[in-house]
Amino acid sequence: MRKTTGNLFLLYPLYLLVLTAMPLAAQDGRPDALAAYNTGRDLEARGRTQEAEASYREAARICNEEISSGAANADTYAVLTWTLQRQRKYGEVISTGERALRLGNDLRVVETMGEAYFYLGNYAASLRQMQRYVNALPQGGRASVAYFFIGEIFRLQGKNLSADIAYTTALHVEGGGVALWWYRLGQVREAGKDYRAAVEAYEAALRITPSYRQAREGLERSRQLSG
């Protein structure tokens, strides 16, 4: 099956900032896993990948120590799954998430597992997790990303109309500011021979990122085919 990992990882700097507020700040001098995780993300966004990986390892160490000592709570598992996801340890995301969900229905973990399943190529499991998330939290902090992944799955399955609906919903929830998502919407509209609608989507992508070569090429094709 086709993989889209490279493009999708561009989303993380934008959307993993939208996290549910959590009482994970350090108390009584204890190590702070969330702080280590956020430091890793900031370093990664600046291209300092080795330092970022060290911060992710520290975040994972803190979480695992909490789990081993019996001091873990839902936040511990949420941060651990996020950290493993950033390290692309998708199998561990799944196994850790399964442990977390035995403790309770943490929708943060549900969504992260959905992404991990996607990158592992298990689209059926990914779709179940993403739909579970949006059904419970249609306006949640990760809802727009969940709808985007649903669109990706339907696109890869050739279900263009369903993908159109999912991408459109993702853009509506997010506010319409992600060029990649408009490009994907243009792709499925073009594949479904709705060329005028594809033109609108590609144009929207180019308004956000004028240098987007694939969107420019899609726009030219769709304009020609729309007559």
Q: What is the CATH number of domain 5-175?
A: 1.25.40.10
* Dihedral pair phi/psi, residue 209, rounded to 5°: -130, 90
* Dihedral pair phi/psi, residue 15, rounded to 5°: -110, -20
pLDDT given for residue 29 in this prediction = 59
User: Over the chain, what HEC string results?
Assistant: CCCCHHHHHHHHHHHCCCCCCCCCCCCCCCCCHHHHHHHHHHHHHCCCHHHHHHHHHHHHHHHHHHHHHCCCCHHHHHHHHHHHHHCCCHHHHHHHHHHHHHHCCCHHHHHHHHHHHHHCCCHHHHHHHHHHHHHHCCCCCCHHHHHHHHHHHHHHCCCHHHHHHHHHHHHHHHCCCCHHHHHHHHHHHHHCCCHHHHHHHHHHHHHHCCCCHHHHHHHHHHHHHHC
Please write the tens of the pLDDT for every residue from 99-130.
999 999 999 999 999 999 999 999 999 999 99
Q: At 49, list the tokens.
A: 């990948």
Q: At 208, list the tokens.
A: 């956000």
Q: What is the pTM of this model?
A: 0.84
Residue closest to 120 by CA, chosen among 71, 84, 72: 84
End-to-end distance of the chain based on CA atoms, in angstroms?
Answer: 33
Q: Helices 33-45 and 49-69 meet at what angle, rounded to 10? A: 160
Q: Name the stretches of the chain with pLDDT < 70.
A: 1-30
pLDDT given for residue 226 in this prediction = 85
